[in-house]
Amino acid sequence: MNFFTYDISSISPVKLCVIPVVILLVSLLSVGMMWMQTGLPVSPGIEFMGGISVTIVTDETPEELSAFFSGYPLISVNEGINNGMYLKFGPMDDNTAIEFTKMVEGKYKGAKIDQIGSSFGKTLQDQAIIALIISFIGMAIVVFVAFRSFVPAAAVVISAFADMVMTAACMNILGIQLSLGTTAALLMLIGYSVDSDILLTSRVLKRKGKFDEKMQGAFRTGIIMTSTTFGAIFAMWLIASIGGIQIISEIGAVLLIGLVFDVMNTWLTNAGILKWYMLEGKGRLSSVQRGA
């Protein structure tokens, strides 16, 4: 169990929070710039900005397909299994879309073409943002009711918020677009993020004993839980990536990114705030409870 050693007794609360705060500020800048450009914190996929998706079976390479469709707003070409190809195109006017559909159906027998209008995409945008906001607010209310103490509850909410913002910024860097699938992943991430934070906060506030011992015990349990979840999601992502199942692959990628940031924010940000609250802000612990 030495691998799970967690000792922050010699580290001040400020030092614990420095790295996460810097990353959060950079992430907020990235997300803010994307929001000003697109109206969303993450680059939108065709579900939100409108466009056409095409699924075909062909021996052509992605380079050959890109050259063939160079006259159209091609966004990406993704390879699947059994020579399957999934192409994404940006919005087209009605005449261009009709011409495009006829051309694809004429060359690729059995092609599957799905079109999403820009107005419908805007509706989905609004609904996705509302879903994320309501979910986050609901989580915050439950946390505050559960702990009935402002600082510990705020620490959980801040950590969850940081997880979301950092994950969104990383999605922008890696080119993972906001789709219906990745929106669902962000909603799931709220639950994953809060889980480890509530574990830590509950152990520290409600159990008796020295502060450092309670932190170490919470860490051992929390890191095992997170590692198990990470392993399961990694397996899902790997299989989906190999099999060319893009939506599952993107969901897995977002969750993996979020879990990495969750480890940092739980055991640095949340732990730092709790340490300040229990040892300095609250001012109720004796030297024995402090572990000094």
The residue out of 116, 148, 173 marking a domain boundary is 116
Of 101, 116, 131, which residue sits at a domain end?
116
Domain co-membership, 208 together with 68 = no
Least trusted range by pLDDT, from 116-130, 185-199, 252-266 = 116-130
Asked whether the predicted pLDDT for residue 284 surpasses 60, the reply is no
Burial classification of residue 10, based on how many CB atoms lie within 10 Å of its CB (0-12 exposed, 13-18 middle, 19 or more buried): exposed
62 and 179 fall within a common domain: no
At 66, which CATH number? 3.30.70.260
The reply to whether 285 and 154 lie within a common domain is: yes
- 151-174 pLDDT, tens digit per residue, is 888 999 999 999 999 999 999 999
Return d(Cα 224, Cα 209) in angstroms, integer.
Answer: 22
The answer to whether residues 161 and 260 belong to one domain is yes
User: Has residue 135 got a pLDDT over 80?
Assistant: yes
**Within 80-210, where are the H helices?**
94-107, 118-147, 150-174, 180-206
95 and 221 co-located in one domain: no
Strands 51-57 and 112-116: antiparallel
What's 204's domain CATH number?
1.20.1640.10
Domain span including residue 197: 2-44+119-290
Q: Which of 95, 116, 137 is the last residue before a domain boundary? A: 116
| Domain identity same for 136 and 224 | yes
Q: What confidence tens digit (pLDDT) does each residue in 173-222 have?
A: 998 888 888 988 988 888 888 888 888 888 888 878 788 888 888 888 88
Q: Do 262 and 141 reside in the same domain of the chain?
A: yes
- Output the pLDDT for position 60: 85
- What's the predicted TM-score (pTM) here? 0.81
pLDDT at residue 3 is higher than 60: no
Question: Do 225 and 277 have their domain in common?
Answer: yes
pLDDT of 282 over the 80 cut: no
Helix (H, G, I), strand (E, B) or coil at 87: strand
What digits encode the pLDDT tens for the residues 30-57? Answer: 999 998 888 888 888 887 887 888 888 8
Total of domains in the chain: 2
Q: Could you tell me if 112 and 253 lie in one domain?
A: no
Task: Return the C-alpha torsion angle 269, 270, 272, 275, nearest 10.
Answer: 180
8 and 61, same domain (yes or no): no
Q: Do 28 and 87 belong together in one domain? A: no
Looking at the structure, do residues 71 and 149 belong to the same domain, yes or no?
A: no
Q: Tell me what pLDDT residue 37 has.
A: 87
